[in-house]
Chains A and B, each alone.
Chain A
Amino acid sequence: DQQVKQNSPSLSVQEGRISILNCDYTNSMFDYFLWYKKYPAEGPTFLISISSIKDKNEDGRFTVFLNKSAKHLSLHIVPSQPGDSAVYFCAASALNDYKLSFGAGTTVTVRA
């Protein structure tokens, strides 16, 4: 049962524009959410996280928004750069549950 869903397998965006990645979850016990970036043959790299007590967290070009009532979060990358081309995974965990549940990933391609 996929508790974290990324319904867009791919996203193509022009350099300098905004990339918006979406993620939905079904488990209402999830209270901590993360985004990871992954290049082929490498491990995921942590980008940004947000806890359920907040609705927005910003770190440089990356902003994550959380809508708990809709069980939805999104990652905004502004401006998009060629080095942002990678697979982005949304992940979630519940308090005192030590595992991460991952979405299937969204492949982002930034066009020059």
Chain B
Amino acid sequence: KAGVTQTPRYLIKTRGQQVTLSCSPISGHRSVSWYQQTPGQGLQFLFEYFSETQRNKGNFPGRFSGRQFSNSRSEMNVSTLELGDSALYLCASREDQGTQYFGPGTRLLVL
């Protein structure tokens, strides 16, 4: 099976803009989670979607949002970008519970 794919791999934006990141899970996986990795905060959970419904959310401001489509693909949106949003954004998928498998990530740089 193909692994988790994320697009784009790299992105440069300026403060105040918005950005949309995409994630395609492993075939058959209905759960998609998003994580943010920064040098100072490590890997932090953003939210998880299962069958198009958000079933858990981390401690991030409302500027961070997501959605999942009927084919399990997921998108994450960040509005009104801040410098501190510069990070590696990771997507992970799994069947329902159990082991999460990660994609390569999207590196976002906010200038």
Binding site for B on A (CB under 8 A): 32, 34, 36, 41-46, 49, 89, 91, 96-105
Contact = CB atoms under 8 A, between A and B. Distances in A.
A45 B100 CA distance: 9
A43 B100 contact: no
B100 to A, nearest CB: 6
Nearest to A89: B43
Interface stretch (B13-21, B50-58, B64-72, B79-87): B50-58
A42 to B, nearest CB: 6
B24 interface: no
Nearest to B44: A102
Chain B interface mostly: strand
B76 interface: no
Chain A interface mostly: loop
Contacts of A34: 99-100
Contacts, number: 56
A104 B43 CA distance: 7
A62 to B, nearest CB: 14
B20 to A, nearest CB: 19
Contact of B56 (A44, A89, A97, A104): A97
A100 B104 contact: no
Contact of B45 (A41, A49, A99): A99
Nearest to A41: B107
Nearest to B6: A43
A54 to B, nearest CB: 15
B27 to A, nearest CB: 17
